[in-house]
Structure 1
Amino acid sequence: MKRAIPCLAATMLALGAWLGSSVTACASSTQAAPIHYDAGRRTFRIDAGKITYAFGVNGNGALQTLYWGARLMANDPLPTAAPPAPRSSFDPAGANTPQEYAGWGGPITVMPDLKVHFADGNRDLVLRYDSYRIVDGTLMVTLRDKQAGVSVVLDYAVDANTGIIGRSARIENHATQAVTLDRVAAASWNLPPATDYSLRYLTGTWAGEWHLRTRPLTPGATELESRRGSTGDENNPWFAIGRGAEWNESRGRVWFGALAWSGSWSIHIDQDVLSQVRVTGGYNPFDFAYQLEPGQSLDTPVFYAGYTDDGIGEASRLMHQFERSRILPAHAQLKLRPVLYNSWEATEFKVDEAGQERLAEKAAALGVERFVVDDGWFGARNSDHAGLGDWTVNREKFPNGLKPLIDKVHGLGMSFGLWVEPEMVNPDSDLYRKHPDWVLNFDGRQRSLGRNQLVLNLARDDVSEHIFHVLDDLLSHNDIQFLKWDYNRNWSEPGWPQQTPEQQQKVYVTYVQHLYDIIRRLRERHLGLEIESCSGGGARVDLGIMSLTDEVWPSDNTDPSDRLSIQDGFSYAYAPAVMMAWVTGSPNWVNGRSSSLDFRFLSSMQGGLGIGANILQWTPAEDATARGYIAAYKDIRATVQLGRLYRLLSPQERAPHSATESVATDGRQAVLFAFLRQGQEAQAYPTLYLQGLDETARYRYRLIHGKAANGTPEVASGAYWMHRGIDLELRGDMDAAAAVFERIGKVANGSR
């Protein structure tokens, strides 16, 4: 079959980066194949981790969800798929069927996954079960509307360890006429009927990302979305749903998921008249239209989801484990994030060879492992008004190119990184003067600027090839190990004048596909290259871009107190292994708040540690403090970045306290961070009860910073630290402490 784009299951990176490894894992696990089909009952069942997921073919030929929850016994019966009984003439049989993937047609009243219109005016689409295949551990189920000539192939791939399922769809046009896709979802997830569900999701804005919100799910709909052309920070494509007030960090049934797409997206959550909750996610239907000629197809992004009985904390840990083991591009040999220095705050656009070398020397003396030159090294780039798009070294600032600086950085024992923003262009640039047609635009209409720049139309083959080749040339002629890939504005005027009017709105899909392809090709050409996804902070963080990059930038806001909330919210959906956090100057540039260097370091040590301050202005005492924290961080970073995260005290809603604990995957080490934003009325800091330790093991604790209450034992059992807890003496405003717990053996006779 001729296709409009390559098959997602084979090549699209949001799924391909995981499917290749998960398929191998499933194929080699012959003792417990995770996917089963019962031909007699026409039901499919997936068992993995601690979950069971089941669906079947009902009497109308629809694919109907039967169960999604805690793992069942192998011989436990499942109900036969059957549409809900008619409720009234307004809700006839089949109208509210919890379908796995519904076309908009017939009596349907639930949110459809696929809505189309044909050249002849028909808009009715009823998808019925046709066939299935299980190939190397991946289930592919085909649905068809034979009369309309449309097929949908649903892919199901499951991670055996976490029970997280990845679902996507391929839409195929077998008709003799064109079909336009008006709404395309990757998947729908159906929850059991109940009236006490609540939804948690993440909202934000620039410098204020990752706020955790909770709202009850009531009859009607909640729409989480971005219409911005990229993931956006107003909402993030992640959700968690639990039952009533019974779910918290450690208790309660939680269904959770995330969409792997870096363009405009939508997650639609509604509760129907039967109290059924349905979560549908995929391309944002706003301004969306994707025309398929006969013989063409479209592959959707992947919508991942999981379940746990053990609260939102365990849901986060499952997501973190899944991201590290299945999503990140180097998951087979996941690298620890090096301690990084970025020159932006010290120099802004006033970069030059001598100044960067002085910063590099100071950074290396502190123990930094990666040195990154930020904006201002290229073209006529002396402000954000010019030069963007001209990725050639500014010879006034670097007379001999970047090589002398790179050699200096490498000689100091650090890797070298560079800031780029390749998807954008300033009107005042050589590139724009040569190719004004290369930006998103509508003929004859205004071109709105954001940060004095326009968005290049990566959907065009010539534009995407240009970006690939200029970056490939930059990397080929310079020994660069790292790119900070930035993206600093939303889309506007998303036209593609070179296409016919019927094809122009494909820009929302093709742009992102080409972005993924550019990054994939660069990584294939330059083995060992690492990339950070940055978008004015956290405006492009999702499982799609994460499958191609090594770390992400959660926020431009580096105030260490604000960062406690930002990093806490981030951790609900994404792993500390990818979360960069910088120590910057005080008072902080965002809000003018002053903080100690201790507080700034400890706040940043909860993720990938970086420094962005002007270190040339630090005193000898500050240098010594920084060296001590960097050395301490290197001793604990494997636990912080790759361990199991427990949120002990939440900083959400400007709460005065925050505390996190990370436990190493082998259980040998635990790291505790505690913060007091604002002391009140001489109140004592809350006792902290550790989690995730071995009750029968003995742990010795030591402080990185701070003070524990008198009488705190140097060594105690895991049971002691979890049930008696530890009291830390934090007082006043902006105080912090950190402690390390090392397992040193078992309690005698295993007694408590």
Structure 2
Amino acid sequence: MSITYNDRIKAWKLDTPNTSYILGVVDEKYLAHIYFGARVEDDNLSYLLRPEEIVPPSIKPEEQLGFMDTVQLEYPCQGIGDFRECCLALKGEDGQTGCNLIYKGYEIINGKGRIKGLPTCFGDNAQTLVIKMTDEISALEVSLSFTVFEDCDAVIRSAKIQNTGKRAFYLERAMSACLDFELENCEIITECGAWAREHIIERTKLNHAAVCAESIRGEEGHDAMPFMAVVSGNADQNSGEVYATQLVYAGNFLAKVKKNPHDQIRMVIGINPETFTWKLESGQSFRTPEAILVYSAYGLGHMTRTFHDLFRNHLIRQDWVRKERPILINNWEATYFDFDKDKLLEIGREAKKRGIELQVLDDGWFGYNRNQPSGGLGDWYVNEAKLEGGLKGLTDELDKMGMKFGLWFEPEMICEDTDLYKKHPEWVVHQKGRIPARARDQWLLDYSNPEVREYIFESMAGIVRSIPVVYIKWDMNRAISDVGSDYLPADRQGEIWHRHVLGVYEIQERLTEEFPYLLIENCSSGGARFDAGMLYYSPQIWCSDDMDPIERLSIQEGTAMLYPVSTIGSHIAKSPNDISWRSVSFESRAVAAMFGTFGYELDITKLPKEEVEQIPGQIERYKSIRKLILEGNYYRLASYRETKEYDAYMIVSNDKKEAFMVYMQVLSKPNSLSRRVKLQGLDPEMHYDVNGVTYGGDVLMNAGILIQRKKDFEAQFVRLKGKGK
């Protein structure tokens, strides 16, 4: 890892273990992107800017417009002749738009600072390049930050935008990063979906029409992810070029890529400008969320493992990142709203007897009308008519069993039939004169209002202070609409979307500071808020409300392409499944649920005896691989989404001495031979014990092993133990 500056050519070179990122100043003014790709030793690659074809204005002022529309820029602005997607757009009090950033200076810093109020990557083994640019007409200063870590092939980018003048102006676009590059015959990878089928990988040919992934729901939603990759047409898990970006943000986003008529590609990512304006008074500044840029010359697998390493080493900040997660049982699909203290204790006793470590009380414990989704939200006090003795009475009994306790909240929402709404109807996000739309018969609290945030924090913190809660499930079950605030003035109404996200961050920050032992699992009707911004506060996120192991194959494949397996909330549910109505064996459901944090979401007291007796063995198996899931390297061997028959993945320890593979036979094929599966990530010189048979690592990776085909929906678990070289 190093950042160097060549004053002779006015260029900076940022090196990671396998990549180089080069940028420089063109025409003494413009900050241009020169190169991002496999690591190179030379820093003088400015010929790639085609200076004799894309002639700068100082030499050819009569064609400045042509220069601005073709030069590769690090942070392009609106209104000065670059007609491609821009990063920065502002409007002055005179109503005019446009700015022109001119290079002013730079600084190279050892380490990396954190951004107050935003989730940020961190680490001492880093260097950061800060480049300052100004627009004197707008009285604007922009500081671009580029960080590299010595152990990761990623570049972290963000921008600080400051008003240095005497008059206010409005940011109408403040993106986090732009990447200009060239790649022939390429495709775009994004992720899409809907409730109960999130994070599905899509691959699209890039022509000259724009491709975007975006959200204006107040979160990324089930139908998009704050991620985009441009890949060579032949790219697979182990080969091909990949240019990828992710946004460390949990709100409305835009990731967009377009190829211009000269086949230059521009990819931008940041806060979605459709729902964003921000007033900057004199002396004030705005910080964009961080964006992560990753280049891989070794296919999608290297991209995946780069993201995983970055998130585990430099983003998930709680001690939970490498701490073994408790195996839990959640009562939601076991009881839904229909429970009392006796039922919960009955589940707890049976679960403890079988080796489960944590019991989670889900929705329905609070308010006086929370027996369906239409009441209670906002009244965060226990319904003792339903839960005799309150939460303390329940946790006292669980503590006697040696069972840890977790609790569900939905702290961003409010129901009309609550004491809170009757007292503070102005706390609801709404547009004046309009009744806001409902979803699950609930509305959104105005997190731009500090009184609202303080009420929610104290409501949650008061409970955590009073009983031994070690786990919180933070849920969000509706998108944001009807956006308006009684708290903010008229000229700041466009800030509500972003301020809501900042409010969520603030409360989770305060919770983790006061209760550092607290394990937070974020959730949003399943995986609608599974993003890097949330991982900063919670080391695991609920992946999908669909726990059918077959449906989960594609959902978990897409999630794990971007995020560590240890972050994926994954449970065993009952069969037939409540969403898909499919029946799958208890063993296969267990193996599928080991792709992540592992737990149970069913009524253990109603399971057949033969299934209950399998639970201790399932838990023992999971505990034997729990450290691998936390720290190991993930390899995708086969995708059911592609094969339509089977799915396979493996996780290998960093020292390559142990691994496990999971193979799921989804559809059987009559009169067929065993399937040969080639493993990945092993030491070719090491020998491995596989179910009592010894193979060389080179044999396992090049020749493979034979997997006997079994009946439909049958999972197979294969453990590998290194035996030396």
The TM-score by the shorter chain falls in which range?
over 0.9
1:303 is matched with 291
Cα gap change, 1:589 to 1:656, in 2 (>3 Å):
same
2:686 is matched with 697
Deviations 1:607-656 (A, max 9, x none): 11111011111122111212211111100121133211111110115711
2:123 is matched with none
Separation in structure 2 between the aligned mates of residue 689 and residue 408 of structure 1, nearest angstrom? 50
Q: Which amino acid aligns with 2:262?
A: L
2:114 is matched with none
2:337 is matched with 349
Q: 2:170 aligns with which of 162, 175, 180?
A: 180
TM alignment of 1:607-686, pairs within 5 A: 607-652=596-641, 655-686=644-675
**Identity of counterpart residues, as a percentage?**
31
2:258 is matched with 270
Q: TM-score, normalized by length of structure 1?
A: 0.91
Separation in structure 2 between the aligned mates of residue 410 and residue 162 of structure 1, nearest angstrom? 43
Q: 1:154 aligns with which of 144, 147, 154?
A: 144
Q: Which amino acid aligns with 2:104?
A: D
Q: Bigger CA drift: 682-691 or 438-447?
A: 682-691
Q: Which amino acid aligns with 1:206?
A: W
Cα gap change, 1:266 to 1:333, in 2 (>3 Å):
closer
2:80 is matched with 106
Separation in structure 1 between the aligned mates of residue 43 and residue 416 of structure 2, nearest angstrom? 65
Aligned-pair CA distance for 1:333: 5.9
TM alignment of 1:416-427, pairs within 5 A: 416-427=405-416
1:124 is matched with 98
- SS of the equivalent of 1:203 reads strand
1:533 is matched with 522
Q: Bigger CA drift: 400-409 or 232-241?
A: 400-409
- SS of the equivalent of 1:148 reads coil
1:78 is matched with 45
Q: Check the 8 A contact 1:730/1:737 in 2, yes or no.
A: no
Q: 2:562 aligns with which of 556, 561, 573?
A: 573
Q: Once superposed, what is the RMSD of the aligned Cα atoms?
A: 1.8
Separation in structure 1 between the aligned mates of residue 660 and residue 625 of structure 2, nearest angstrom? 7
TM alignment of 1:485-496, pairs within 5 A: 485-496=474-485
Q: Check the 8 A contact 2:28/2:103 in 1, yes or no.
A: no
Separation in structure 2 between the aligned mates of residue 276 and residue 619 of structure 1, nearest angstrom? 61
2:704 is matched with 725
Q: Which amino acid aligns with 1:42?
A: K
Separation in structure 1 between the aligned mates of residue 24 and residue 374 of structure 2, nearest angstrom? 58
Q: Check the 8 A contact 1:568/1:651 in 2, yes or no.
A: no
Q: 2:363 aligns with which of 345, 365, 375?
A: 375
Q: Which amino acid aligns with 2:147?
A: A
Deviations 1:570-598 (A, max 9, x none): 11111101001110000001111111001
Separation in structure 1 between the aligned mates of residue 324 and residue 243 of structure 2, nearest angstrom? 30
Q: Are 1:360 and 2:348 an aligned pair?
A: yes
Q: Which amino acid aligns with 1:645?
A: Y
- SS of the equivalent of 2:501 reads helix
Separation in structure 2 between the aligned mates of residue 62 and residue 692 of structure 1, nearest angstrom? 43
Separation in structure 1 between the aligned mates of residue 696 and residue 43 of structure 2, nearest angstrom? 40
Q: Check the 8 A contact 1:199/1:217 in 2, yes or no.
A: yes
2:305 is matched with 317
Q: Check the 8 A contact 2:679/2:701 in 1, yes or no.
A: yes
Separation in structure 2 between the aligned mates of residue 94 and residue 284 of structure 1, nearest angstrom? 24
1:739 is matched with 718
Separation in structure 1 between the aligned mates of residue 103 and residue 243 of structure 2, nearest angstrom? 26
Q: Which amino acid aligns with 2:149?
A: D
Aligned-pair CA distance for 1:351: 2.5
- SS of the equivalent of 1:552 reads strand
Separation in structure 2 between the aligned mates of residue 124 and residue 649 of structure 1, nearest angstrom? 49
TM alignment of 1:237-636, pairs within 5 A: 237-244=226-233, 246-330=234-318, 334-380=322-368, 381-636=370-625
Q: Are 1:93 and 2:61 an aligned pair?
A: no
Deviations 1:172-224 (A, max 9, x none): 11222221111110111222x23311111110110011110001111131121
- SS of the equivalent of 2:706 reads coil
Q: Check the 8 A contact 2:413/2:443 in 1, yes or no.
A: yes
Q: Are 1:56 and 2:18 an aligned pair?
A: no
Q: Check the 8 A contact 1:608/1:641 in 2, yes or no.
A: no
Deviations 1:224-256 (A, max 9, x none): 100001121211011222112x21010111111
Q: Check the 8 A contact 1:378/1:391 in 2, yes or no.
A: yes
Q: Which amino acid aligns with 1:608?
A: T
Separation in structure 1 between the aligned mates of residue 560 and residue 343 of structure 2, nearest angstrom? 36
Aligned-pair CA distance for 1:90: 10
Cα gap change, 1:90 to 1:296, in 2 (>3 Å):
closer
Aligned-pair CA distance for 1:527: 1.9
Deviations 1:363-393 (A, max 9, x none): 1122112211101111121111111111101
Q: Check the 8 A contact 1:96/1:109 in 2, yes or no.
A: no
Separation in structure 2 between the aligned mates of residue 345 and residue 194 of structure 1, nearest angstrom? 48
Q: Check the 8 A contact 2:364/2:371 in 1, yes or no.
A: yes
In structure 2, list runs of 5 or more residues that go unmatched: 57-61, 111-126
Q: Check the 8 A contact 1:324/1:331 in 2, yes or no.
A: no
Q: Check the 8 A contact 1:97/1:110 in 2, yes or no.
A: no
Cα gap change, 1:508 to 1:333, in 2 (>3 Å):
closer
Separation in structure 2 between the aligned mates of residue 59 and residue 86 of structure 1, nearest angstrom? 9
Aligned-pair CA distance for 1:345: 1.2
1:5 is matched with none
Q: Which amino acid aligns with 1:113?
A: C
Aligned-pair CA distance for 1:78: 2.3
Q: Bigger CA drift: 527-536 or 105-114?
A: 105-114
Aligned-pair CA distance for 1:166: 1.0
- SS of the equivalent of 1:204 reads strand
- SS of the equivalent of 1:378 reads coil
Q: Check the 8 A contact 2:675/2:708 in 1, yes or no.
A: no
Q: Which amino acid aligns with 1:155?
A: S
2:120 is matched with none
Aligned-pair CA distance for 1:94: 2.1
Q: Which amino acid aligns with 2:170?
A: T
- SS of the equivalent of 2:489 reads coil
Q: Check the 8 A contact 2:11/2:43 in 1, yes or no.
A: no
Q: Bigger CA drift: 495-504 or 541-550?
A: 495-504
Aligned length: 701
Separation in structure 1 between the aligned mates of residue 81 and residue 681 of structure 2, nearest angstrom? 50
Q: Check the 8 A contact 2:172/2:277 in 1, yes or no.
A: yes
Separation in structure 1 between the aligned mates of residue 419 and residue 144 of structure 2, nearest angstrom? 46
Q: Check the 8 A contact 1:264/1:284 in 2, yes or no.
A: yes
Q: Which amino acid aligns with 1:514?
A: G
1:20 is matched with none
Q: Bigger CA drift: 80-89 or 727-736?
A: 80-89
Deviations 1:311-332 (A, max 9, x none): 1011111111111111112269
Separation in structure 2 between the aligned mates of residue 654 and residue 235 of structure 1, nearest angstrom? 23
Separation in structure 2 between the aligned mates of residue 574 and residue 349 of structure 1, nearest angstrom? 32
Q: Check the 8 A contact 1:125/1:145 in 2, yes or no.
A: yes
Aligned-pair CA distance for 1:683: 2.4
Q: Which amino acid aligns with 1:94?
A: M
Q: 2:677 aligns with which of 688, 692, 699?
A: 688
- SS of the equivalent of 1:153 reads strand
Separation in structure 2 between the aligned mates of residue 172 and residue 153 of structure 1, nearest angstrom? 8
Q: Check the 8 A contact 1:640/1:671 in 2, yes or no.
A: no
Aligned-pair CA distance for 1:677: 1.0
Q: TM-score, normalized by length of structure 2?
A: 0.94
Q: Which amino acid aligns with 2:625?
A: I
